[in-house]
Amino acid sequence: MAYIGREPQIGNFQVCDAITTSATDTYNLLVGSVAVSPETANHCIVSLNGVIQAPTSAFTISGSTIVFASALTSSDVIDFIQILGSVLDLGVPSDDTVSTAKIVDANVTLAKLSATGTKDATTFLRGDNTFAAAGGGKINQVVTQTLTSITSISAGSFIATGLTLNITPSASNSKIYLIASISVSGSTNDYNQSMAFFRDSTIIGAAADASSRIGSMSQSRTNNSIADSVVLSFVDSPSSTSQLTYTVKLYGEAGITHYVNRTGGDADQAHKGRTTSTITALEVLV
């Protein structure tokens, strides 16, 4: 197919006809009295008064003319103007032909590793050597607390059990997966205990109140001789990047004292030992 416009001259070195200077900055470029149009200023070597001129700053090319940065005088001498022709285009290398040695150290930047060039803490390298945004169920951080002390709780409202932790999500759309195991008992048998997660002062994951019946996540019934282990689990969507405090609270039936990490009777016997409770928060990236 024929070229549209001027055909590139690959390595076609030409020396322009002599030019007589005058009080102007623009001169015609001729080779054998025929106008020539270099590809760009970078395709020309220009010597003025014995000094090679810097392309684009000392002169520019406009079609078949050269334009100097300032007007010359009749005493100036253009020693020569050599046109180099087009730079040879090497084309696209064949597959598996570029070796490591051909790549200059530090010349492969993050921008060359993907279309977006945004490699940071939110991206990761997958097993197939491609980059992907972090998320889709990846665990970003885990915070946990183990409670070994005894907590005594009276009745009538949700009261902190001592199970609590702080976590600061790294993204506003992160989910917080909460898991808690709490060991509870009461000073008397057959009294109800209701438990729930709280984010700061807000109850989360609980059923709605129904008339006088309070809403909670889980419920147990006291046994004076044993500490029951109650497990709570919930996925929270806090929509926040501020520090959050998650707590397990207990609502105990009135008339007795409720305990965490001990039996109700707390008899000094090996088989009625003390227990621990735990709470864990996992930030899940979306």
CATH number for the domain harbouring residue 170? 2.60.120.1340
Does some domain include residue 132? no
The pair of three-digit structure tokens given for residue 107, joined into one six-digit string: 């010349």
Q: How many domains does the chain have?
A: 2
Distance separating alpha carbons of residues 214 and 236, to the nearest angstrom = 20
Distance separating alpha carbons of residues 193 and 181, to the nearest angstrom = 14
Domain boundary among the residues 83, 99, 117 is at: 83
Does some domain include residue 147? yes
Give the range of the structural domain holding residue 175, as residue numbers without chain letter.
139-284
Side chain identity at residue 31, one-letter code: V
Based on the domain organization, do 275 and 192 belong to the same domain? Answer: yes
Strand 14-15 to 44-48 pairing? unpaired
Domain boundary among the residues 63, 83, 103 is at: 83
Does some domain include residue 99? no
Based on the domain organization, do 143 and 280 belong to the same domain? Answer: yes
Based on the domain organization, do 76 and 156 belong to the same domain? Answer: no
Q: Can you tell me whether residue 101 is helix, strand or coil?
A: helix
CB of 46 closer than 8 Å to CB of 52: yes
Distance separating alpha carbons of residues 43 and 8, to the nearest angstrom = 12
Based on the domain organization, do 75 and 145 belong to the same domain? Answer: no
Based on the domain organization, do 177 and 73 belong to the same domain? Answer: no
Distance separating alpha carbons of residues 17 and 14, to the nearest angstrom = 10
pLDDT in the model for residue 105:
75
Does some domain include residue 54? yes
Does some domain include residue 108? no
Based on the domain organization, do 159 and 235 belong to the same domain? Answer: yes
Does some domain include residue 90? no
Does some domain include residue 245? yes
Does some domain include residue 169? yes
Which pLDDT tens digits describe the chain residue by residue (286 residues)?
Answer: 565 665 555 567 899 999 999 999 999 999 999 999 998 999 999 999 999 999 999 999 999 999 999 999 999 999 999 998 765 555 567 777 777 777 777 777 666 655 555 555 556 555 566 655 555 679 999 999 999 999 999 888 999 999 999 999 999 999 999 999 999 999 999 999 999 999 999 999 999 999 999 999 999 999 889 999 999 999 999 999 999 999 999 999 999 999 999 998 888 888 888 899 999 999 999 8
Q: Concatenated DSSP letters for 121-141?
A: TTEEE-TTS-EEES-SS-EEE
pLDDT in the model for residue 33:
94
- Using CA atoms of 14, 17, 19, 24 in order, give the dihedral in degrees to the nearest 10: -60
Based on the domain organization, do 181 and 258 belong to the same domain? Answer: yes
- Cβ neighbours, 10 Å, residue 111: 11
Based on the domain organization, do 180 and 278 belong to the same domain? Answer: yes
Domain boundary among the residues 83, 114, 131 is at: 83
Distance separating alpha carbons of residues 198 and 185, to the nearest angstrom = 21
pLDDT in the model for residue 76:
96
Based on the domain organization, do 56 and 144 belong to the same domain? Answer: no
Nearest Cα neighbor of 286 from 172, 174, 176 is 174
Residues 6+ away with beta carbon under 8 Å from 97: none
